[in-house]
Amino acid sequence: MSISDSFGIYLHIPYCRGKCRYCDFYSAPGAKGVPQQYVEALLRELAKNTRRPDTVYFGGGTPALLTPAQVRRLILAANPLPGAEITLEANPDVVTPEHLKGFAAAGVTRISFGIQSADDTQLRRLGRTHTAQSAARALSWARAAGFEQICGDIMLALPHYSNEEFDRTLALLEQGGCTHISAYLLKIEPGTAFGHNPPAGLPDPDAAAEFYLYAVRRLEQEGYRQYEISNFARPGCEGRHNLLYWNCKDYLGIGPSAHSCLGGVRRYWPDDTAGFMAGTAQEQTEGVCDGEDFLIMQLRLRSGLDVDEYAARYGIRFSASQQEFLRQCAEHGYARWDGHRLQLTPAGLIVQNSILQELI
C-alpha cells in the first residue's frame, strides 16, 4: 500500500488510574480497568467502517488498562491489513509480563511507554505513578514479550531541568531497547493542575530551546534520526500512524474527544464518555483540511514541504517576498530551501510558528 492510500484508525481509551499534573487530554482518572460497555461502544462504531486500515493506534488515557482479550476483539473488529502497525500506549506501572505477552498475542506490534524522566523526584512532581526502576522493568518485560518496536517518551525543560537528567533518561530508554523516542517540551496548559499552580524552577524560553537542541544532538548521536519536531527513530522505525496525520492522509478516530479526517473533512467526537457509550453522542464536523493545514503539518517533518505538491494539491505557490524570506531563513540556519523543497532545521522548528506567520 502506498502512503497515498494509507488509512489509520485511532481508538481513544479515556481511562487512567490518576491524572498527571500536566495532562490536558480527555481522560477519566481513578479507573482500574476499561468497562466492557465502553469496549462494546467502540465495537459498535468499528462495525460501521468498511475500510481496512494499515495502522491502528490505541491512545488515551491509558490503553494498557484494557485486557488482552478486549484488545484482541477490537483489533479483529478493525480488520487491519496484513503487516499493519498496531500501537498501544502504556504506563510502566500498569503492565505486567502476562499483560504484555497477551497484548503481543492479540496483535499489538508496537508498545509505547510514557516514561518522561529517569528522575524519581521529577516523576513525583509530574504526578507520574511509576519510578525509573519500574520503567526499566517494563521495558525489559516488553522485550521478553517479543516486542521489536518499543517507544518511549521523554519530557524536556521540566522544573529544575538539566542536560544530565536528559542523558540519564535517554540511557534508560536506549538500554531498554527503545527503537523510537518522542522528546517534547513541557507545556503548561490551562485547566491542568500545573495550569492552576505552575511549579517552581521552570526554565525560561531560551533555556527550554537549548534543552531541545541538546536533545536533538544527543538523540542523533545515539542513532535516533529526527523525522518530526518531537519524534526520533532508528532507521525504519518511524511511527507510521502519526505520519498519516502529518501527511494529511485519511484517519478515523473513535471515542470521546477523538478526531478524524476523511476525504479532507475533519470531524470529532464530543468529550462525553457516557453519551458515547449510550450511543447518544454524535460526531461533529470541524471543517476541511486545506492548504494551511497541509503547510503546517508538512513543516513539522524534517523531510519538509514539496512546493510542487503543495501547488498541485491546493493551487498555492509562495510569493516573491515569501521566497526572499525563505532565502533569509536558510542563510541564518533556520531552513533548507532550494526553491522546490522547504525543510526546517532543528533551530527552525523551535521558531516554526514565526516562520508560518510569514507563509500563511
Q: How many other C-beta atoms can be found within 10 angstroms of the C-beta atom of residue 306?
A: 14
Q: Percentage of residues in the chain with pLDDT exceeding 90?
A: 87
The pLDDT value recorded for residue 310 is 95
The pLDDT value recorded for residue 20 is 74
The pLDDT value recorded for residue 183 is 97
Domains and CATH numbers, the chain: 3-245 (3.20.20.70), 305-359 (no CATH)
| Burial track 173-201 (b if 16+ CB lie within 10 A, e otherwise) | bbebebbbbbbbbbeeeeebbbeeeebee
List pLDDT tens digits, range 299-352. 999 999 999 999 999 999 999 999 999 999 999 999 999 999 999 999 999 999
Instruction: Give the dihedral sign, CA 40/76/247/153.
Output: positive
Backbone φ and ψ of 359, nearest 5°: -105, -15
Measure CA of the first residue to CA of the last residue in the chain; give whole Å: 32
Per DSSP, helices labelled H in the chain are: 36-46, 68-78, 97-106, 120-126, 132-144, 163-175, 193-196, 205-221, 240-246, 273-278, 291-298, 307-314, 320-331, 346-350, 352-359
List pLDDT tens digits, range 210-223. 999 999 999 999 99
Element (H, E) at 252: strand 250-254
Contacts with 50 (C-beta within 8 Å, 6 or more apart), sequence order? none
Whether residue 4 has pLDDT greater than 60: no
- Residue 189 to residues 129, 195, 237, 312, 321: CA-CA distances in angstroms? 20, 5, 30, 37, 35
d(CA 217, CA 104): 33
Q: For 120-133, what is the mean pLDDT?
A: 93
The pLDDT value recorded for residue 30 is 65
Question: How would you classify the pairing of strands 231-233 and 225-228?
Answer: antiparallel
Whether residue 2 has pLDDT greater than 60: no
Give the confidence band of 5 by pLDDT, cuts at 50, 70, 90: confident
d(CA 207, CA 215): 12
**Maximum C-alpha span of the chain:** 60
Give the confidence band of 22 by pLDDT, cuts at 50, 70, 90: confident
Sheet of 55-60, strands arranged across? 225-228, 231-233, 180-185, 149-156, 110-116, 85-90, 55-60, 7-13, 250-254, 259-262, 265-268, 284-288
Question: How would you classify the pairing of strands 305-306 and 341-344?
Answer: antiparallel
The pLDDT value recorded for residue 3 is 45
Whether residue 50 has pLDDT greater than 70: yes
The pLDDT value recorded for residue 77 is 98
Q: For 79-94, what is the mean pLDDT?
A: 97
Helix (H, G, I), strand (E, B) or coil at 64: helix
Count CA atoms closer than 13 A to 79's CA, side-chain side.
9
List pLDDT tens digits, range 169-221. 999 999 999 999 999 998 878 888 888 888 889 999 999 999 999 999 999 99
The pLDDT value recorded for residue 247 is 93
What is the reported pTM? 0.94
Asked whether the beta carbons of 75 and 110 are under 8 A apart, the reply is: no
- How much is the mean pLDDT over the chain? 94
Q: Which cell goes with 80?
A: 487491519
| CB-neighbour burial class of residue 62 (10 A; exposed 0-12, middle 13-18, buried 19+) | buried
d(CA 55, CA 282): 24
